[in-house]
Amino acid sequence: MRRTLYALIAIFLVVPLVAFFVAYLVVDVPKPGDMKTNQVATIYDSDGKTVLSKVIPPQGNRTDVALSDVPAHVRNAVLAAEDRDFYSNPGFSITGFGRALRDNVLGRADAGGGSTITQQYVKNALVGSQHSIIRKLHELVVSTKMTREWSKDDILQAYLNTIYFGRGAYGIGAASKAYFGKPVNQLDVSEGAVLAALIQQPSGLDPETNPTGAKARWNYVLDGMVSMGTLSKSERATIQFPQVLPATPQNGDDQDNGPAGLIKAQVLKELSAAGISEQELNTEGLSITTTIDPTAQAAAEKAVKANMDGEGNDLRTAVVSVDPHTGAVRAYYGGDNGHGYDFAQAGLQTGSTFKVFGLAANLAKGIPLSKMYSSAPLTVHGITVTNVGGESCGTCTIAQALKMSLNTSFYRMELGLGNDGPQQIADMAHKAGIPEDIPGVGKSLTEPNGAGPNDGIVLGQYQVRPIDMASAYATFAAEGVYHQPYFVQKVVNADGTVLLDRGNPSGEQRIDKDVVDNVISAMEPIAAYSNGHNLAGGRPSASKTGTTQLGDTDSNKDAWMIGFTPSLSTAVWVGTEQGIPLVNSYGGEIYGAGLPADIWKSTMDGALKGTDVEYFPKPAAIGGQAGVPDYTGPTTASPKTTVAKPSPTEDSGPPPVVITPSQVQILPGITIPVPGIQQESPSQGGGGGTDNGSQTGAGGGPSPNGGGTGPGAGGGAAPNGVAPNGVGVGR
């Protein structure tokens, strides 16, 4: 037993030592010219052949400088940031290497760390950054040999001339120009500390985009200089954070000026989240295959151009298409300025497109599509709440109410869910794929004070991004299975090493299949009902339009069309940046059934052309009814208006629900009072009752160029400031 133990110890000690010395004899140390700089990273469409964009390090943006030209205080700042015992260590950190070895053995995703300046240079110049024990041992051998064969000053000079500082700047000479517009020999202590701070996370610590993080790291560097004895405490106390130049656009590909530039931005964000560093991106000649389908992308761009041509310059649009089976983003249009604002990532009110989540919540409670609800207009606190154009179904099924987008009916449905009805709808939306937290919005589907959602949620009161809506509707298309949306399919470096491969992501069953199938059944007639936007060739689709109201005016500000087939979900938004009335080139109001529906149909038809026609599953029964019933309701006569305080002798149905105002924000710094249902008030179910002030419906004929005031399914909300956060006016 003891002999076996001694043998094992010998193996674990002797073998690595022998391997180390053999490797030490045969390995070559790198030279500064061996650095893998200025290798273009190419971003491809899903076919892996069509170039979507490129990441091109600026040519000539790497100027070698002699170490003697780098002020001592700048060198000391770099040492304080990255390797405080650089001049005394053997080229590697024993404790750091031990941690890295342990993490690699345990298979930890963040395995690495413990890198001295020598190791960083070796990694970037020769051995790469693949997470493996072999790579780390190779790095150790080369670092040790380099320390013996090179002077420390030679190593530091090579390091300073090759490390990446962000803004496309390789080497401290280029970085000095990029951030301060001056040669490196003119940098003062505070400026040198800024550059040293950047090395850890070049773009993430850029003072222009992350001033808080940049200053925290800057203070760390200066404090390190004090502890090293290269900066006095008195001088440290007087140093102020310096002014940094604004970033200028990096050299790239001409394609970045168009929609591809915004796709590229999402790709780079996703690569960073996946742990692929900027150093790898800019030096390893990466081939990045995205999920963007060239046919679908071309269809989306063509649809936008064809339908928006001739419209006002103030109009903006976003189009996102998602594969329900995987979450892959197949088409993405956030605007035509690749360096501008991305409207596909903007938090926007969704209008009646949110009704489908309310319907799903209702079905999940076992309430069928045949359930009847009144569409009666209401008077609440002296304010009359109606449907647009006086639209009404009398009392009809909730399926018919969805088709006609009758907000009064949907408010009654929401009330029937109980006091927590709004939260049930929010929970359903989150299950479908609306994130709990949305960048630029914060915690989603709730009031700013964290009190949860109010009753306006069923009309799309809260801000959600177009990409979120495309993803959430894709969950319905996938029969309740959620897949997180993504842009990057595979990443391979110039040596053929695969850095990332998504494969076929598995989804999560979040919504009951029977619920989803019944929701789809209610959505299927809407495209045709919305000014005849059914897909070409009789291809089945499920869709919903929505329109939101501009404050307390009679104008619109957002218009949506979102819909899907079993293989593609597409969300389209049309609006403005300025918060001005949404009108087409003929001066007509734009509704969801107009321009957005035109763009949606063109995108879907183009993307799916030549593919098999797919059909939705036949729904199972919920509450004794499978899918949309053959009847719509017992009456189509317009019902009498219900008032807030009916006479005791009047036959006016159940008493109204009292509405109390709460504050919601319509623009930064601007809030308006919005009614909300008091929790102690009785739910009205499908009878009389009230809604939270909404106006929706169909009326009038279509405007030229699809601008639309014709009938359709859409969002809705009441005028006179009653609408929750200015939400919706139908079609």
Which residues are known to be catalytic? 82, 352
Kindly report the backbone phi and psi dihedral angles of residue 289, in degrees, each rounded to the nearest multiple of 5, phi listed first: -95, 120
Q: Which of 404, 473, 396, 414 is nearest to 629 (CA)?
A: 396
Asked if 323 and 568 count as a contact pair (C-beta separation under 8 A), the reply is: yes
Angle at 36 between CA 34 and CA 37, to 5 degrees: 115
Classified as helix, coil or strand, 524 is coil
| Interatomic CA distance for residues 52 and 287, integer angstroms | 11
Instruction: Work out whether strand 556-565 and strand 542-549 pair parallel, antiparallel, or are unpaired.
Output: antiparallel
**Cβ atoms 162, 35 nearer than 8 A:** yes
d(CA 77, CA 49): 45
What burial class does residue 578 get, using C-beta atoms within 10 Å of its C-beta: 0-12 exposed, 13-18 middle, 19+ buried?
A: exposed
Distance (Å, whole) CA 635 – CA 638: 9
Question: Which among 37, 42, 150, 31 has a CA at the least distance from the CA of 90?
Answer: 150
d(C-alpha 159, C-alpha 169), whole Å = 13
3-state DSSP helix/strand/coil percent for the chain, to nearest 5? 40, 15, 45
Q: Which of 239, 240, 243 is nearest to 180 (CA)?
A: 243
Report whether 331 contacts 572 (CB < 8 A). Answer: no
Strands 315-322 and 287-290: unpaired
For residue 321, the one-letter residue type is: S
**Measured distance CA(140)–CA(424) in Å, rounded:** 57
